[in-house]
Amino acid sequence: MKYVLLNYTKAEASGERLAGEIDPRIAAVLERPAVSGFVRLLPAESATTLSLESRKLLMTDGPFVDSKEFLAGLILVEADDLDGALAIAAELQELDLTAAIEVRPVLEQELGGA
Amino acid sequence: MLEEVFRDQWGRVLATLVGLLGDIELAEEAAQEAFATAAERWPREGAPANPTGWLITTARNRAIDRIRRERTLAAKTARLERELRDRAEETMETTPFPDERLELIFTCCHPALAPEAQVGLTLRTLGGLSTAEIARAFLVPFETMSKRLTRAKHKIRDAAIPFAVPPDHLLPERLEAVLAVLYLIFNEGWGGGRVDLSAEAIRLGRSLVELMPDEAEAHALLALMLIDDGRRAARLRGGELVLFDDQDRSLWDEGQIAEGRAHVGRALALRGDGAYTIQAVIADLHLREPRDWAEIALLYERLERITGSPVVTMNRAVAVAELEGPAAGLAVLEALDLDDYRYLHSTRADLLRRLGRREEARAAYARALELSAPGPERRFLERRLAEVSQGAGQDG
């Protein structure tokens, strides 16, 4: 099974930290064999959101959901079952660097462009 | 009679089918078909020598038929056909099927499911209660319960919640979740006077002890439920609440209480020292005359350290009041922040009443009443409020 870990970070975490080196403790987890890939995102203020308002394309500055926490990265995990994915997520969350991690199963198909 | 057999068999049959088919919904449908066939045939032709084996085999064959019809599930068919071929030599009646109820319990009580879904699913899959029965027991509309169960089954499938007994490093935490679900079912039965649920929780508790005979806390939970439930008949008289000290002990179910005590003994022999073990020992101590309030207070203190629960502190206050007087009990209560908990107010009211502080007692009874649903407890509080109100006038 493939799972994606959606890492949410507190907004006050600075862009610099996010853009810089990966925290070595996180890097250690990312090297686990179960981790098959990850992407890091720039802070939410760099986001642009497109939506349709009465059939007209509307472009707004900022993320779709405006909250104190924002999506900072996605980690792709391969595990036998949910407990396997939760174990990796728990390891990351216990570092106390993320606000929360959402674990979602991925529809079984090849990753686009991979 | 047949219904009784079916209730006993349901969890066992369903668990094996889930293990075989890897899908709770499919297993449930197949099991239902097999039980329907049995209900039609057994009274006519007599029950088979091995009812469990018969039900599992019949259900499995129904599932294979269904899967064959649905070609998209080709992979599963291959697996089942292999299984079927391997077992072809064995006769239907003697086919040994593994008991996988424990795996199913841990799936249903996985913390990734919402607590109310864990409770509903456990009652459905292991208890064999129908969705309508569960909905009635929890006072929610049928559609709400049905959606809740379907959503949970889909999450188990889509997120691949494991069908397995957790590995050692996860076991204590996961077992705690299972015990919490059973105790929740039990207490739902107590509070609302919905008798079926306490009986169901005890039934599930017995299965758990049978499946995990070396787990002290499983024995302790069963003991706690048996002892509490053994006093049920004495708890109400003519529909009215009877306080513990006024209960007619001849109404206690001595057999059930003795069984409970045996499980307390087992839990202690297994060196149990968890929250359920302590609660079971306390429940046992409460039934002994004279009551050892010092020991009870001490045990509540230990329980407080484990759970950090203000409700436990409240119970300790009651023991302290018996030991050192109502003022000492009240002092323990004053530190608690439990304004929405009706028993805090009724306990406080009782201690204030005993101290002759009637005005304060009246206010506390009034607050407890605000938080109580109609029923015996509410009527009891109303009687007490009327008593202290009369007295308050005389004080005045």
Q: How confident is the model at residue A113 (pLDDT cuts 50, 70, 90)?
A: low
What number of other Cβ atoms are within 10 A of residue B2's Cβ? Answer: 12
Test B162 with A105 for CB contact under 8 angstroms.
no
CA atoms of B163 and B104, how far apart (whole Å): 6
Residue A111 lies in a domain: no
Residue A41 lies in a domain: yes
Of A1, A80, A82, the CB nearest to B112: A82
Residue A24 lies in a domain: yes
Q: pLDDT by residue (tens digit) across B8-66?
A: 889 999 999 999 998 999 999 999 999 999 999 999 999 898 899 999 999 999 998 88
Residue A97 lies in a domain: yes
pTM of this prediction exceeds 0.90: no
For chain B, domains (ranges, CATH) are 2-99 (1.10.1740), 339-396 (no CATH)
In the predicted model, what is the mean pLDDT of residues B200-217? 94
In the predicted model, what is the mean pLDDT of residues B137-160? 93
Is pLDDT at B129 greater than 50 in this prediction? yes
Lowest mean pLDDT among A61-70, B80-89, B114-123: B80-89
In DSSP terms, B236 is beta-bridged to: B241
Q: Residues of B with CB below 8 A from A82's CB? A: 110, 112, 159-162
Residue A34 lies in a domain: yes
> What total of structural domains would you count in chain A?
1
By C-alpha distance, the chain A residue nearest B111 is: A83
- Secondary structure letter of residue A21 according to DSSP: P
Residue A110 lies in a domain: no
Kindly calculate the radius of gyration of chain A based on its CA atoms and give it in whole angstroms. 16
Is pLDDT at B330 greater than 80 in this prediction? yes
Residue A51 lies in a domain: yes
What is the average pLDDT value for chain B, to the nearest integer? 89
Name which of A72, A86, A90 is nearest A7 in CA terms: A72
Q: Residues of A with CB below 8 A from B162's CB? A: 80-83
Report the pLDDT value the prediction gives residue B89, as an integer from 0 to 100: 44
Domain of A98, in residue numbers? 2-68+80-105
Is pLDDT at B90 greater than 50 in this prediction? no
CA atoms of B89 and B86, how far apart (whole Å): 7
Length, in residues, of chain A: 114
- ipTM score: 0.84
Q: pLDDT by residue (tens digit) across B343-360?
A: 999 999 999 999 999 999
More confident residue, A78 or B389: A78
Report the pLDDT value the prediction gives residue B396, as an integer from 0 to 100: 39
Lowest mean pLDDT among A39-53, B15-29, B91-105, B259-273: B91-105
Q: Of B108, B109, B154, B158, which to mutate for an interface test with A (greatest number of A Cβ within 10 Å)? A: B158
Q: Residues of B with CB below 8 A from A104's CB? A: 159
Test B162 with A83 for CB contact under 8 angstroms.
yes
CATH code of A48's domain: 3.30.70.1060
CA atoms of A7 and A101, how far apart (whole Å): 5
By C-alpha distance, the chain B residue nearest A105 is: B159
Residue A49 lies in a domain: yes
Distance of residue A100 Cα from the nearest chain B Cα, in angstroms: 15
- Tokens at B312, concatenated: 């436990």
Distance of residue A6 Cα from the nearest chain B Cα, in angstroms: 15
Q: Residues of B with CB below 8 A from A81's CB? A: 160-162, 164
Name which of B97, B98, B154 is nearest B121 in CA terms: B154
